[in-house]
Amino acid sequence: MRSGPSGFAYTVRGAEVVITHHGARAGLLRGAKAAAFLDAVESADPQMLMAKATGNYRHGNERTAKQHPRNAG
Domain ranges of the chain: 8-66
Indicate whether 47 pLDDT > 70: yes
Nearest-angstrom CA–CA distance, 70 and 16: 41
Higher pLDDT, 69 or 36: 36
As a whole-number percent, the residues of the chain with pLDDT over 90 amount to 41
Q: Which CB contacts under 8 angstroms, 24+ apart, belong to 14-17?
A: none
Indicate whether 1 pLDDT > 50: no
- Averaged pLDDT for residues 19-31: 92
